[in-house]
Structure 1
Amino acid sequence: MSDASLPEGLRMRPATLADVEQVVRLANSNEIEYLGEPDTSADFLRHNWSLSTHKPEENVRVIVTKEDEIIASVDTRHKRHVKIDMELDVHSAYRGQVELPLMRWVEERAQDHIALAPADAQVLLGTWAHQKDTQRQQLWTSVGFELTRYFWNMKRELTQAPEQPQWAPGICLRTFKELQEEAPQGDERLARALFAAHEEAFSDHWGNIPGIYEEWHEHHLGKEADLSLFFLVMDGDQVAAYARCADEGQQGGWVHTLGVRRAWRRKGLALALLHHTFGEFYRRGTRTIRLGVDAQSLTGATRLYERAGMHVERRFANFEKVLRPGRDMRTLSLNQA
């Protein structure tokens, strides 16, 4: 793309791993403005940009000054080419000046995905905005996006040891690390069983698109994952439920994903799993626990988290734009299950 549409002295270029620190500083400056604290770590972004499925040179663009200072960035990733999500950050001094050139690049990049998507499939572009960022929300609606959903970050502060988990008869909890060490030759079988459990549990999640095992494995079970915080609820040799957690340092503990397979729902497993997770973080000295959730969860997850003592800390608006009409491949209701 030509830089002619950018203010004088600015240019757009592909991002590289060497840009991680600058992009994180940019993201954190916006997070401090709207959230009151930084929320993105260099380790997190470096991990995402190091995935084989997400090359920053292809999927990320930055806008820089003559001194190569990054003042804006846009990061794109896709789900089976039918949903392209983007993350946009702009330095406050340049807002209203560089967003449209970045959006044009995103829509040009999306053409590559449209060409690879199933011929009859709808192709969507998705993004979000902090609830307090009305300027960004107005931008999205002005370029053809529609507000589709709200998502929450929920939080619990542990001022004392949390509740003890109450497990149903015959249920036991293990970590992926324990099971991996017991059957090192069975790593692949264990990982595939966990992936199948994840796919089943999240098939009831609004907006879900079936995943690809190899991509899931690299992202969730890669060398940087703390497998001692990957909890599996076992019923015999079956994975009934699971929680993938991480200690994010100053940001506290995160429950990144929690799922219960259909046959094991309404048995108290999710609440017990949360209580176990809280207890493990408390034992490690972590007192702040967070997770993200669809505010209109099809399975009532928000009520579960409230029962577990969590409250809404942050709200985000989700926006989508149809790039090509067609068959919607996502989960939109429980009737599709």
Structure 2
Amino acid sequence: MQTVLGTCKLRPAVHGDAEAVTELIIATDIETFGKPDFSLGDLLEIWEKLSLATNTWVVLGADGALHGYGSVEEMGEGRLDTYIYVNPASKGLGIGSLLLDKAEARACEYVADYQRKGIEYEFNNIVAGRNGLAFELLESRGYAVRRLHARMEIKLTESPALPEAPAGVTVRPFEQGRDERAFYEAHRQSFQDSRGFHEKPFAEWLEGKTGEQYDPRLWFLATVDGDEESAGFIIVKHLPDCVWVDLLGVTRGARKRGIGEYLLKKVFYESWQQGRDTIALTVDLGSLTNASRLYERAGMQADYELFMYGKEL
């Protein structure tokens, strides 16, 4: 444990910090958006994939109160995403800058390894909402906005109609033990031309889709008649306040046939049957496929923005 900023303590997060870190992130959500968009389950799912000892940091006051939390996540070999949260009551103390220092130092270790392997990298810092202090800090450190995402949602007020599959397209529910590889390949093929996509090995990808929040009853796979290859897919999970669309994709050769919109509306219908009325997701507003237009057609509306800042280390 390191003494910083006078009387504060800096150390890696431990599992015993989980509830306090969740409360901190919720407090920043409420300050920014007026409502929480995070849960303890979300944090534990993220922590399953992180080395807490090397990729997380907490800043504690002299009384043990949590003032800040930061992390670096390797989203795939070559892509690093950083998240930094400061208690709204602790702003202006230098906590965000301190956590950014730690995140950059850890990211430099990854980058050195990437460079030895000849792997291109991208280093990002994700800022939820229009956080002026965070923007100012990042821009003073040489960061610039790379991408803009939006959180979109729909709140159903009545049972949606059961959608009809596009002509010549067959959609089936996920079957455990049969379809894991097909979903993986559909993801790989659908997102290969997306900005920031970094492919993961099958075993690692599958492990990341097996948390208790994931609900395979709402996973669907589309194929074009006469072609055994997957044409589209959707993967969702349950959050406390919504059904979350984790991944939705259509392969390049099967686009412009209404497959994505059908899969989304299929999840709307099935979610209502399960007693869930709110479905949400995030979308890259600069997507090459103009995905936000699809979600708007399906009745979803933008809730708030996520700014992806980045720089070369």
Q: CA RMSD in A?
A: 1.9
Higher deviation after alignment, 153-162 or 26-35: 153-162
Unaligned runs of 5+ in 2: none
Question: What letter corresponds to residue 297 of structure 2 in structure 1?
Answer: R
Question: What letter corresponds to residue 130 of structure 2 in structure 1?
Answer: K
Deviations 1:198-257 (A, max 9, x none): 0110112222122222221111134553211222223464322111112212x2111111
Take 1:34 and 1:104, find their aligned partners in 2: how far apart are those partners?
A: 24
Higher deviation after alignment, 294-303 or 87-96: 87-96
Residue equivalent to 2:149: 151
Residue equivalent to 2:300: 310
Moved over 4 A (4+): none
Contact conserved, 1:80 with 1:117, CA < 8 A, in 2? Answer: no
Which runs of structure 2 are paired with 1:131-142 in the superposition (5 Å)? 131-142=129-140
- The alignment of Structure 1 onto Structure 2 pairs a total of residues equal to 309
Residue equivalent to 1:211: 200
Take 1:23 and 1:222, find their aligned partners in 2: how far apart are those partners?
A: 20
CA separation of 1:123 and 1:213: change in aligned 2, threshold 3 A:
same
Offset at residue 173 of structure 1 (A): 2.4
> What secondary structure sits across from 2:289 in the alignment?
coil
CA separation of 1:225 and 1:288: change in aligned 2, threshold 3 A:
closer
Which runs of structure 2 are paired with 1:1-337 in the superposition (5 Å)? 3=3, 6-51=4-49, 54-96=50-92, 97-119=94-116, 120-176=118-174, 179-180=175-176, 187=177, 190-222=179-211, 224-235=213-224, 237-249=228-240, 251-323=241-313
TM-score, normalization by structure 1? 0.86
Residue equivalent to 1:331: none
Take 2:34 and 2:74, find their aligned partners in 1: how far apart are those partners?
A: 30
Higher deviation after alignment, 312-321 or 163-172: 163-172
Residue identity (%): 29
Contact conserved, 1:221 with 1:227, CA < 8 A, in 2? Answer: no
Contact conserved, 1:15 with 1:62, CA < 8 A, in 2? Answer: yes
Deviations 1:7-28 (A, max 9, x none): 2221110111111100000000
TM-score, normalization by structure 2? 0.92
Question: What letter corresponds to residue 17 of structure 2 in structure 1?
Answer: D
Deviations 1:131-180 (A, max 9, x none): 3211111111011101122110111121122233221344332222xx22
> What secondary structure sits across from 2:312 in the alignment?
strand
Question: What letter corresponds to residue 191 of structure 1 in structure 2?
Answer: E
Offset at residue 81 of structure 1 (A): 4.4
Question: What letter corresponds to residue 226 of structure 1 in structure 2?
Answer: D
Offset at residue 2 of structure 1 (A): 5.1
Take 1:241 and 1:15, find their aligned partners in 2: how far apart are those partners?
A: 38
Unaligned runs of 5+ in 1: 181-186, 324-337
Offset at residue 272 of structure 1 (A): 0.9
Take 2:242 and 2:122, find their aligned partners in 1: how far apart are those partners?
A: 33
Offset at residue 82 of structure 1 (A): 2.4
CA separation of 1:55 and 1:101: change in aligned 2, threshold 3 A:
same
Deviations 1:287-332 (A, max 9, x none): 1111100111111101111111111111122100111xxxxxxxxx
